[in-house]
Chains A and B, each alone.
Chain A
Amino acid sequence: MLDTFEILTTSGVVLWSRSYAPVSSNIINSLIRDVFIEERIQPQSGDAGQKPTYRKETYTLKWTTAKDLGLIFVAVYQSLVHLTWIDKLLDNVRALFVGLYGEQLKKEHTSKLDCSNFAPYFERQIQDLEGSSDSATSNVKLTPPSSTDNDSADEKSLKPPALRKQQHQLYDTSADSTPVPTPETSRPTTPAQHHLITGKGRPGAKLSRRDRKKASAASTQPSSGDETSAKRKAKGSAKKNRVWGEFGAEEEDSSVVLDYSQSDIRDEGSATEALEEIKQETWGRKTGKGEFVLKDIDEEMDQIIAAENAKKQSSTASGGIVGSSLGAIGGLFRNVVGGKTLTKEDLAKPLKGMEDHLLKKNVAREAVVRLCESVERDLVGLKTNSFTTIDSTLRTSMEKALTKILTPTSSLDLLREIQTVNATGRPYVISIVGVNGVGKSTNLSKIAFFLLQNHHRVLVAAADTFRSGAVEQLGVHVRNLKELSKREGGEVDLFEKGYGKDAANIAADAVAHASKNGFNVVLIDTAGRRHNDQRLMSSLTKFGKLAKPDKILMVAEALVGTDSVAQARNFNASFGPGRGLDGFVISKCDTVGDMIGTIVSMVHATGVPVVFLGVGQHYADLRGLNVSSVCRLLMS
């Protein structure tokens, strides 16, 4: 069963919501954070028909958006329940809501939206779809599994409810004077009909008009006399005159419509026909029985949905020959002047160019595709500003996407973190991992130098017990650093146990040694390992458990190409569940010029921020990441 359905704006205001069971607001907040902001969870783009899902705690969330109006529609339900009709519901509700309130939503400088009368529409949708899914199973039994001839199956399955309906109508006429049961009893009949229409497992886009006609025809057949069918005809003609652009007027009616069934009955009781007659032309269809009115909401709803779908189709597929040629000229003009509504086709070519540009900057293909997709999602359906071309719009959007992907979620102030941890009385442990030869030891000594300048007492632990000369190399670094930091006031020492021992144990010993001797920070150097070698990578899990590092930094060189994504992923996953990398150090940035795409690839693969950049050979050549300058370099 559906737990909650919410319609909210991107600016965070909930416009309309209906909850059947209490759901904590942080469920939806985390959806927004993880999916919309951090894009940590990629919506599966495999099957086009399916909406993406997001799981949090025991809930499953499905959502859809109306980009131009800045709306998000979210449905929340228990993961245990398998609801097949949520996609349809989301689509229908979006079409309905946009159709009903689209004009109001375009108003500026307000967050108010009076959509209190949306509830009946929603309830009807739920009932229809729930009904259809309930009977979907029985429907399958009825129809031969291989039958493509829907109509014959329709006829068959339509019969029983039609009969039921007749009975109900009889009942209704008898119980007309009692207002209470009428709406209640008539309710199950209508969805029962509808499930046969919607629940046939057809692709959602092309249902509606024909089906609806069929349904209404079926429903009128049993209903007794000529007068009703005549009424239906009158109704049909009234329908055609309607202008569906003016939804404002419609929605005012709709609230009346609901009450109308009851007030109607009351009116019949008191027999006041004067008012009725005046409204006969416009409201003729509503003077019938209670269920006529109810069906009206259905039809109105279907019509709105159909209109929205048609609008969407017409916007994607351009008109005739004249229209297209005129459109082409206009498009060219608008391309220069601006004010053009962007479509996928418009963006395809400039996006390709942007893709090539980024690939040249050494960004991994996967990351480029993701960035371009996010830009496309951002731009399709958007109108370009006046006097901006598509290219410049694309550029700003790409810059925004890059900034978003590179900006860390939380503060990266290492010094402050060290202070906080030291306040609890234990040393701050940083361990450095990475592939062979990327500069782990060099960057470790750079970080040590930085910490020494801030008057920390640093212990360097040589946990690379594999490569010959690794311990000695660290010894040289420590000796240099001792010399350099003598005047500054910092203190540094080396912790080593020679070669061949288990790295995890040495690291644990080093931490114990540091806390005994009053060191603030422990820097652990590890052996380089190939990221796709399971045997070597598996020892990292033990290492993470024993040394309990506060921060695990991975060193990657800016020279690496497409492999960067795999490296980052494998290292991120190697520490066991619940522990990943905390940051990247990108080394050798000075050797690549402006081709610093590796930074983007690494962050893309894991969502872990870049903490340091190595920009030279000296101890002081360590920098923090400046997002805007990196973006500028990448876009240049």
Chain B
Amino acid sequence: MESNFDFGNAPFFKRAREAGLRTAIIEGADDVVTRVSAGINTAEWRAMLRGDQPLTRPNPRLKPHADGFWLHMRPGYYNKAITGLYPTFRLGWLSTYFAVFELITGLFLMVFYTPSTLVAYENMLTILSNVPLGQFFRDLHRLGAEAMVLLVALHMLRTYVTASYKKPRQFTWFTGVILLVFTLGLSFTGYLLPWDQLAYWAVTIGASMAEAAPPPVVGQFVNILMKGAPDLGAAGLLRFYLLHVLVFPVLLTIFTGVHYYKVVLHGHSLPPELEKTGEDTAKRVPVPVRRYFLPDIQASEVLWIGVVTLIMCVAVIFFYDAPLENHANPQSTPFHTVAPWYFLWAQGLLKLGDKTLMGVIIPTILAGAFMIMPYIDVGPVRHYGRRRFAISLSMLFITFIAVTSWMGTPAFLVQTSLDQEVFHEMAPIEKIGYAHQVPYEQYEELVTAPDGGYLGMQTLSVTGTITADDGTVEAPYWRDAIPSDAEELAHMLEVYEEEVRHAMEVDPQFGGLPNAVALLHIEQVQIDLVGLTFEISWGVDPNNPDFNNSRYVPIHHDAYPLGGRGH
């Protein structure tokens, strides 16, 4: 009988009849493993895991590099000289890993997030309050993003110091600069998504640069294109979201592919004494110094990402919580708004002068200079000891970034009235200040009588006891009035006093508070809720203060410390 579908004569059954079912199953399984791993059979896998030499010749461990998709963008073997921690520090691999790490943690967060100004912030609260591992993944994603910016920058610095960008690897460097820009873009667009005050105002500062692109008509167009409206709002959030989850990840993936392929093409850059500038070493790794990717490099890479993942987990469990401030409010600019740390340098530059020059032209020139740098620095010397000018230039640049970043902080060129500074120090509206760190009970104790009754509003002075004309004490000096065991309260009041005393010595034209009288009123507002009022009066004439300012700070029993795990 003839049939196209000759089941009984399929290789497996034929083999089973010839050699028995057990052998057929083992051989079939071996065949499957070999096909899935693009050429490595079970025996070879076992040899690899045991650290044995390849079992057959030619080396079957090179086959996945030729036949498989994933490994075709990795070299089949490395030069032994660069397989240690030094000189690469694995920064390139870790940068790539963090892109994947962000993708995985980001997908988790995406499930619970809607890019709408109406619900985005509420989604964040849901992630933190009602999604198991929600805070864990958010912390990982946020910390990972910052780590990735740092790693990419360090990778770039390492490549610069070892002069690995020189011929023939100029284009690899060029794509690397583009990847740095995309990494910053990803971090920056993601910064906005929680839609809290921190996100809104940091991104507003960063995005204000786009508006300054010359000429004005272009700036306005870019601004509208990016935000969908003159100011950040619903359209802006959606656009930033799409850039964050779609545009930048796709671009990053494409350019990572190019970047990686160039490494396969030109081989790794070796230490200067092992390689002549201008020659690529991809196919010229002498057999004695070869380290095959499988299993040696692979094992190291997996170990590295394991170690880094563990560090990240430990960091977010014990030390780090991603910040979440109050709901974004375009009407209220928080005191001392700053850009994300990796854009502080730009904020510092912006303080120096023209927005177009400092915010657009200089950063563009910097990025352009980075991209074309390998095509200008064509000298053959690679050893850092003989590249004094280039190394000095990089140190100068790092100093420049450090100084401009410092200039971006409120410490530089931000003139404020010191009463605002004192209030901000004691009880900032968006962050945690000294007043929030005092245990609630210590406040309540001050307004509670020994029999448990409510004493009414208590007023403490931090600038000396205040007495009325008839000699009655209106506000006692705090050291005389608080219980001796209220350590945190004492510390808070001590700082308050120090700050005010410092401000009293500053010239009023620089925001000083001459003859300041500083008070703290404490009242019981509701059960488990006290209201603090920081009040400062000052004036040039000690008997007639012209100015008065106060800040009302309600403190609830349950509100602090912030963060779900007690930090």
Q: Are both chains from one complex?
A: no
Give A contacts to B, CB under 8 Å. none
